[in-house]
Amino acid sequence: MGVLELSTILLCLASIFSLINLRLLKLPTTIGLMILALLLSLIVLIIGIIFPPVFQTVTSITKEFDFSDLLFNVMLPFLLFAGAISVNVHELLKDKVTILLLASFGVLFSTFSVGSGMYWLIQQPVFGLNTLGLSYIDCLLFGSLIAPTDPIAVLAMIKKMNLSSITETRIAGESLFNDGIGVVVFLTLLGIKENGLENISAIEVGTLFITEVFGGIALGAVMGFFGLKLLKYIENEHMELEVLITISLVLLLPIISHYFHFSAVLGIVMMGLFLNQNIDADKETKGVQKAMSDYVYKFWHLLDETLNAILFILIGLEIITVFESFQIPFLFVSLLAIVLVVGSRWIGVSIPITFLSLFKNFEKKTALIITWGGLRGGLSVALALNLPDDIGEGKALILFLTYVIVLFTILVQGLTLKKIV
């Protein structure tokens, strides 16, 4: 089946499911689409038990969607850019220290606490999983891929919440940046695993990390600055040219980042902030125009909504692939993993907030809101799928745990977040 046929199937499913959710379920779009995709997958699984050829056909079609490649190289840059140009950049800059500390400390703390906790859990004889051969570095990889919240899922949810401007900006900003830091930590740990801990020095690890982070930020800033100058040179009535330029920049940056081993995720976020729709909001009375016309921002909002719909349908359909290697002990470990991940997230957020509250004001329940609003999504699933096959049978466990945690955060935390707020 070709790209055209696969794309048509996804768009048709997105349209049908969106209509059903709008008229019947009336849930937040991302949650409604995921539930419907999950139901479709479960129906296929049930039919597959009765008619195995049907299951085999659907499984082969599902596997043709290279989820990891599709998300990283196609969807993620566009979704991150759309999120970065819509966040309140003025509030973000005012609270940049808070956001960066929450993002960096939270990811690093969760990576090591979740990784260490999982390593201890699978060594317990009661689960019978110590034969999978997962090493400590493998568990840290799991901790790094599940630590960052998914900005795509988070931004989609907080838009529907009645949050204060500063809290909304903190959640959105922290999610955008912890996403990039999480990917860098994951790639750094992956490099250690592939080269062997004994063959790589602490200096090399530090150099790799710094190159990824600061290289990505610098590249995004440079491309964002020149992109802003170029777009302001063009009169805003040439909206079709502005759309073409922004698409070109979003596609070009990951290619350059890959060549120089920079973080494309952080680069895209930084470039988006330079082209933010609020960049000149406080200067409109002085006649200073925005970087792009409102129609261009509306185009990116439309693209964001469309890709979001497709992404969450893909997450729902991936259950067919994930459950192929399911084992009963996986279920018990996944329940403990949920507690471990949410608990680590809460501690990783509470420590910086407790420290920063000495200098800044925080609303009541801020730590709880940021913790419970830390939804995981397609990024975590894509990173899990991107793990090397030499992990062996342990990869099936990591993929299953990742998927269960993504479902829990989106379906349970996403649906109950309003009650906490």
State the pLDDT at residue 130: 85
**CATH number of domain containing 84:** 1.20.1530.20
**Tally of domains within the chain:** 1
Token representation of residue 48 = 């597959």
Q: DSSP for 238-304, please give it.
A: -HHHHHHHHHHHHHHHHHHHHHHT--HHHHHHHHHHHT-TTTTGGGGGGTPPPSS-HHHHHHHHHHH
For residue 295, the enclosing domain spans 66-420
Short-list 328, 330, 337, 332, CA closest to 116:
337
- Residue 41 domain flag: no
Token representation of residue 387 = 């793990």
Contact of 401 with 330, CB cutoff 8 Å: yes
- Residue 274 domain flag: yes
Contact of 390 with 163, CB cutoff 8 Å: no
3-state secondary structure of 149: coil
State the Cα–Cα distance between residues 208 and 185, nearest whole angstrom: 10
- Residue 38 domain flag: no
Contact of 401 with 333, CB cutoff 8 Å: yes
- Residue 254 domain flag: yes
Which residues are within 8 A (CB) of 35 and not within 5 positions of it... i.e. 6 or more apart? 25, 27, 316, 411
Query: pLDDT tens, position by position, for the chain (421 residues)?
Result: 677 888 888 899 999 999 999 999 988 888 899 899 999 888 888 888 888 887 777 777 777 777 788 888 889 999 999 989 988 888 888 889 999 999 999 999 999 999 999 999 999 998 888 888 899 999 999 999 999 997 777 777 777 777 778 888 888 899 889 988 999 999 999 988 888 877 788 888 888 889 999 999 999 999 999 998 888 888 666 788 999 999 999 999 999 999 999 999 999 999 999 998 776 644 544 444 566 788 888 999 899 989 988 888 888 888 877 777 778 888 999 999 999 999 999 999 999 999 999 888 888 888 999 999 899 988 898 899 888 888 878 898 999 999 999 999 999 998 898 888 7
- Whole-model pTM above 0.75? yes
State the Cα–Cα distance between residues 364 and 357, nearest whole angstrom: 11
- Residue 132 domain flag: yes
- Residue 20 domain flag: no
State the pLDDT at residue 27: 87
Cβ burial of 221 (10 Å; 0-12, 13-18, 19+) is: middle
State the Cα–Cα distance between residues 310 and 290, nearest whole angstrom: 30
- Residue 60 domain flag: no
Entry field: residues in the chain: 421
Q: Residue 323 carries which DSSP code? A: G
State the pLDDT at residue 290: 66
- Residue 243 domain flag: yes
State the Cα–Cα distance between residues 327 and 385, nearest whole angstrom: 18
Cα 37 → chain centroid:
19
State the pLDDT at residue 286: 47
